[in-house]
Structure 1
Amino acid sequence: MKEIKAIIQPFLLTKVVDALKKIDGLPGLTVDSDVRGFGRSRASEAKHKIIDDIVEYAPKAKLEIVVPDDMVEITVETILEHAHTGNPGDGKIFIINVEDVIKIRTKQRGEQAL
């Protein structure tokens, strides 16, 4: 199993989620629509201001999806297809090994818990 974390432009969140929902067998996903950050290109160009201990960062949306290994490529390709603009700040996708997952309600473990 893999966890796919995608940091994307917030204005593309609905488009990406709608496309992911069309993947047959996708176990589900978690969305955080209000994350902030900056990447290497923004950091070199940005004029960050600290006002009242608040640092301004670019708004982003984060998707977290845990899928069986055989669903990684279709999930990643779907995100790439619908989140890509070609402009700086499009975001990143991280693919992380998942050792185990436990469904709290049923106490199932492994892929059956997805």
Structure 2
Amino acid sequence: MKEIKAVIRPSKLLEVTEELHEIDGLPGVTVSEIKGFGKGRARNAHDKVTYEMVEFIPRIQLEVVVDDGMVEEVVNVIQKYAHTGNTGDGKIFVSTVDEIIKIRTNERGRDAI
């Protein structure tokens, strides 16, 4: 199993999630509003937020855990629909998940997804 985390522009959220909904068998997606900065340090950004002299850019983080066989499809959808070609489009991270436990039922592994 793999966890896919993607940091994308807020303006791309609707487009990306609509396309993710089309993936058959996708277990679900967690969406979080986040702030941060990359190599550019947010200096020239129009949508930056400043806290005590540190500039942050608002972004969206998507998180989903899928079977290994779904990784490429999910990554490709995010890559395609989050892309603008401009600096700050975001990043996609893919990590291995060792264990999943569903709290309500105590199911484990693939059954817990």
Same fold (TM over 0.5): yes
The alpha-carbon deviation at position 50 of structure 1 amounts to 6.0
Alpha-carbon separation, structure 1, partners of 2:99 and 2:70: 16
Partner of 1:91: 90
The alpha-carbon deviation at position 71 of structure 1 amounts to 0.4
Look up the SS of the partner of 1:20 in the other structure.
helix
CA RMSD of aligned residues (A): 1.9
Alpha-carbon separation, structure 1, partners of 2:49 and 2:25: 45
Please say if residues 49 and 56 of structure 2, whose CA atoms lie closer than 8 Å, have aligned partners that are also in contact. Answer: no
Partner of 2:9: 9
Alpha-carbon separation, structure 1, partners of 2:37 and 2:12: 17
Partner of 1:30: 30
Aligned length: 110
Alpha-carbon separation, structure 1, partners of 2:53 and 2:21: 36
Partner of 1:113: 112
TM-score (norm 1): 0.89
Identity %: 50
The alpha-carbon deviation at position 105 of structure 1 amounts to 1.0
Partner of 1:72: 71
Could you say if the C-alpha distance between residues 93 and 104 of structure 1 is closer, same or farther in structure 2, counting changes exceeding 3 Å?
same
Runs of 4+ in structure 1 deviating by more than 2 angstroms, as ranges, are 47-51, 53-56
The alpha-carbon deviation at position 38 of structure 1 amounts to 1.1
More helix by share: 1
Alpha-carbon separation, structure 2, partners of 1:50 and 1:28: 33
Corresponding letter in the other structure for 1:81: K
- Give 5+ residue unaligned stretches, structure 2: none
